[in-house]
């Protein structure tokens, strides 16, 4: 087919041709095309219009009037998130722009395509106003997907085995961002929402179908099976423990060097652990990060904790706290 016959095939509609510059190296599962009668929505605020990265929203034309009402809040969240991540990761936003599109009948809640996050369009607030909890959850989702521009897109795991780390990482850092980022004072329930994720992980971990946080994915078709409470909730809890036990500076230093080494390329869980381990040694942390991480990542099951009390003459003579891995098949001794 020659160019002339191709153009005539569209009737009298005007034809526009766009040529884009060569992209950065990205994984094949991280690009997308958004096509259809979408309304492009921009901010009316100078702070956003002149922002260093173009920010836009898209939705079906029938939803544009609703998205217009909440657009400035969503732009504010996006800008505040990018600014905070740039400082926390010691790494600039790795792409040229951020579009965020609300699409109909989307199977997942959201997807972090490079420079174009896609959300299901029931995230658009319409005539029925969202509750405070739902708004907080939508903000967390925005921050989660934006964090993927660094962890997941800027650096992508080599194989599906380690894809859980994308979600665990985005889960954890999005809650810190919501809690700490300047301009996010309206969203006060970050750690309450994080506990919900942790409880999801605990509940999943007590089932007979539980699995280690890090597990083998033999082929692509089975990759989706690991996206559960273990990947999102327990994995995020492991990173929360990293932050708590090894400290903020270890976390920040390790992440910054990790991004620097693997920019626009692939990495593995071992690479991630190595950078955190190196950071902990450089900052003279007594714990061995690699060994500690291994105990969390390679075994399934949550901990069961109980106490034994020895009393004598109405006084506690001995109080012992016991701990072991939850044993399946023992009934409902431990509930979440």
CA distances from 234 to 17, 142, 164 (A): 47, 21, 10
- Reported as a single tens digit per residue, the pLDDT across 138-183 is 999 999 999 999 999 999 999 888 888 999 999 999 999 999 999 9
Handedness of CA 140, 57, 114, 33 (dihedral sign): positive
Structure tokens at 40: 């492009």
Residue 103: the pLDDT is 94
Residue 223: the pLDDT is 73
Class for the domain spanning 3-297: mainly alpha
Based on the residue annotation, tell me whether 112 is a catalytic residue of this protein.
no
- Reported as a single tens digit per residue, the pLDDT across 274-287 is 999 999 999 999 88
Question: Averaged over 112-127, what is the pLDDT?
Answer: 92
- Percent with pLDDT over 70 in the chain: 93
Question: Averaged over 204-231, what is the pLDDT?
Answer: 81
The mean of the pLDDT values for the chain is 88
The DSSP code sequence of 96-152 is S-EEEEEETT-SSSEEEETTEEEEEGGGS--SSPPPHHHHHHHHHHHHHHHHTTTBT
Residue 327: the pLDDT is 65
H-helix or E-strand spanning residue 154: none
Structure tokens at 264: 């626009």
Residue 328: the pLDDT is 59
* Overall residue count recorded for the chain in this entry: 336
Residue 20: the pLDDT is 81
- Burial of 186-206, coded b for 16+ CB within 10 Å and e otherwise, reads ebebbeebbeebbebbbebbb
Which position among 145, 180, 286, 330 bears the catalytic label? 145
Q: Which pLDDT band holds residue 25 (cuts at 50, 70, 90)?
A: confident
Structure tokens at 230: 């273990």
Instruction: Please state the domain extents for the chain.
Output: 3-297
């Amino acid at each position: 087919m020659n160019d002339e016959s191709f153009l005539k095939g569209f009737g009298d509609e005007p034809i526009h041709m766009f040529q884009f510059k060569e992209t950065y190296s990205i994984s094949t599962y991280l690009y997308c095309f958004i096509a259809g009668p979408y309304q492009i929505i921009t901010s009316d605020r100078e702070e956003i219009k002149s922002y260093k990265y173009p920010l836009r929203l898209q939705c079906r034309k029938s939803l544009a009037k609703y998205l217009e009402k909440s657009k400035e809040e969503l732009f504010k969240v996006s800008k505040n998130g990018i600014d905070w991540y740039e400082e926390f990761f010691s790494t600039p936003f790795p792409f040229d722009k951020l579009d965020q599109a609300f699409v109909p009948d989307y199977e997942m809640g959201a997807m972090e395509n490079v420079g174009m996050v896609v959300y299901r369009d029931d995230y658009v607030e319409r005539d029925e106003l969202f509750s405070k909890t739902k708004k907080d959850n939508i903000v967390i989702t925005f921050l989660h997907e934006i964090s993927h521009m660094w962890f997941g897109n800027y650096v992508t795991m080599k194989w599906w085995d380690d894809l859980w780390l994308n979600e665990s990482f985005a889960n954890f850092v999005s809650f810190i961002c919501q809690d700490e980022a300047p301009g996010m004072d309206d969203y006060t329930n970050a750690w309450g929402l994080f506990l919900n994720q942790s409880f999801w992980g605990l509940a999943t971990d007590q089932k007979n179908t539980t699995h280690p946080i890090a597990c083998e994915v033999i082929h692509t078709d089975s990759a989706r099976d690991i996206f559960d409470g273990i990947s999102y909730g327990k994995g995020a809890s492991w990173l929360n423990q990293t932050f708590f036990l090894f400290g903020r500076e270890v976390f920040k230093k390790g992440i910054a060097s990790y991004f620097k080494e693997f920019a626009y390329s692939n990495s593995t869980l071992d690479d991630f652990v190595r950078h955190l381990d190196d950071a902990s040694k450089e900052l003279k942390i007594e714990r061995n990060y690699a060994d500690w991480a291994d105990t969390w990542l390679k075994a399934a099951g949550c901990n069961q904790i109980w106490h034994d009390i020895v009393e004598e003459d109405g006084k506690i003579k001995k109080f012992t706290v016991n701990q072991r891995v939850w044993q399946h098949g023992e009934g409902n001794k431990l509930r979440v």
